[in-house]
Amino acid sequence: MQLLAVDVGTGTQDILLFDSRRAPENCLKLVMPSPTLAVAAQIRRATQAGRPLVLTGVTMGGGPSAWAAEDHRRAGLPLFATPDAARSFNDDLDLLQREMGMVIVSPEEAAQLAARPDVAHVTMRDFDFAAIRQAFTAFGVALAPEVLAVAVFDHGNAPPDVSDRQFRLDYLARRLAEDRRLTAFAFPADAVPPIMTRLQAAVSTAREAAEHVLVMDTAPAAVLGALQDPQVAGQPDALVVNVGNFHCLAFQYRGGEIVRLFEHHTGLLSPDQLEAWLGRLADGSITHQAVFAEHGHGALVLDGTAVPMSFVAVTGPRRAMLARSRLPIYFAVPYGDQMMAGCWGMVRAAADLLPQWREEILAALTSSEVPGLW
C-alpha cells in the first residue's frame, strides 16, 4: 500500500511517499517551501504591483502569510477575504476588520473580485495535492495513494474571551486524559473535533486525493516519529523534544508512558531557557502557570514524580538550539532522516487508526536492511 504523508510546517512542508513494498530508507521524499511561505510570496507580489487583493480558500497556517497581508494593508492597498480564508490570521473576524482593515466578503463576492483583471487572487490552503503530484510526475512517479496523511499545527477555534494558548493546552490535556498515546492527536477524516478548524480545513482539501484521509497535530507527529528511531524507542524514560520553527513541545516519559509535557514559542526561548524548562519537566517541578506567564502555551503534569534526565531525544528544524547543551542530547533520526520525523509519526499513527493496514505498515517499518537497526 502507499501512504502520502505531508507534514506542514512554517518553514518547510516535508513530504514522504511511504510504500509498504520498499524498505523505509528507500521511500521517496521531498522537503519543499511551506504553504504559508508560498502564499506570502504571492501576497507580496500583489503588494509590489500595487493591486487590490482577495483571499479565498480555507483556513491555513499564518505567520509569514499574515505578516505579508499586514504589510499589504500598511501599503494602503485593499484586502478582501472570505471568512474561512480570513480565519487563517485570527478566528475573530471583527478584530481583523477593525484592526487590520480587512474586508470580509462572501464567497460569491470574492469570486466576482477575483474575476477582475486589476485584482490579485490568492487561494489559501495548507495542502495542495495538484502541486505535489506535479512534482512527483516530473520524476516519472504517478501518485495514487490509498491513504493521505496531513499534519498541521492547530491552536483551535478559541472563543474571543479565551487565550488561544490556554485553549490549545486545554485541548492537549483533554486528549491525553482519554488516551496517553500520541496517536490521540491523529484523526480519521470524519472524527476531527469541530474546534480544530485548521485540521478540519486540511481534511476538506485532502478528501479528493485519497480514499482514506488522516490528519494529525505536527508536534506530536514529530515526537511519535522520533520514537521510531530505535535508540529513542529503547529508552522508557526518555524526554523527547520537537524544536519547531514556531513552537517547541516536549514530552517526558516514565516507564514508557507520557507523564508530563510542556509547549512554548521557540522564538521566545534561548538555548539556556529551553534547557532550564526541560530540567523542570524532568524533575517534575514545572507548572502550567510558570510557562504560561512567560508567554508559552503551558505545561501539563499528569504525574509529578521526578525522572532522571539520562536521555533527551531532539528533533525539529531548530534542533541546533540544543547542539551545545549540557544535557544528554541525542538527535533522533528515524530511518536516517530527522526532517521526516513528522511523516514517520503519521505513518505509525496510520497503523493504529487504520486496522486494515496495520500489519502491512508495521511489517514494512521493521523491514529495514540496515545492519543492526532492529
Q: Is there a domain that residue 132 lies in?
A: no
**Residue 100 domain-assigned (yes or no):** no
CATH value at residue 292: 3.30.420.40
Range of the domain at 259: 230-332
Residue 320 in any domain: the answer is yes
Among 244, 81, 55, 213, smallest CA distance to 147 is for 213
Q: What angle, 0 to 180 degrees and rounded to 10, lies between the N-to-C axes of helices 341-353 and 358-365? A: 150
Q: What span, in angstroms and rounded, lies between the C-alpha atoms of 370 and 366? A: 10
Strands of the chain, DSSP E: 2-8, 12-19, 28-33, 53-57, 79-81, 103-104, 120-124, 147-152, 186-188, 212-217, 239-243, 247-254, 257-265, 298-301, 312-315, 329-331
- Phi first, then psi: give them for residue 44, nearest 5 degrees: -65, -30
**pLDDT value of residue 161:** 85
Contact (CB, 8 A) for 261 and 303: no
User: Is 350 part of a structural domain of the chain?
Assistant: no
CA distance to 25, 26, 255, per residue, from 337 (Å): 8, 11, 26
- How is residue 102 written as a grid cell? 480587512
| Predicted confidence pLDDT, tens digits, the chain (374 residues) | 999 999 999 999 999 999 999 999 999 999 999 999 999 999 999 999 999 999 999 999 989 999 999 999 999 999 999 999 999 998 889 999 999 999 999 999 999 999 999 999 999 999 999 999 999 999 999 999 999 999 999 999 988 888 999 999 999 999 999 999 999 999 999 999 999 999 999 999 998 889 899 999 999 999 999 999 999 999 999 999 999 999 999 999 999 999 999 999 999 999 999 999 999 999 999 999 999 999 999 999 999 999 999 999 999 999 999 999 999 999 999 999 999 999 999 999 999 999 999 999 999 998 754 333 22
Rounded to an integer, what distance in angstroms lies between the CA atom of residue 159 and that of residue 144? 39
Residue owning grid cell 487590520: 100
In a domain, 21, yes or no: no
What 3-state class would DSSP assign to 273?
helix
Q: How many domains does the chain have?
A: 1
pLDDT given at position 368: 58
Task: Give domain status of residue 160, yes or no.
Answer: no
Q: What is the pLDDT of residue 367?
A: 74
Q: Supply the pLDDT for residue 370.
A: 39
- Establish if 144 belongs to a structural domain: no
The amino acid that residue 256 corresponds to is G
Residue type, 213: V
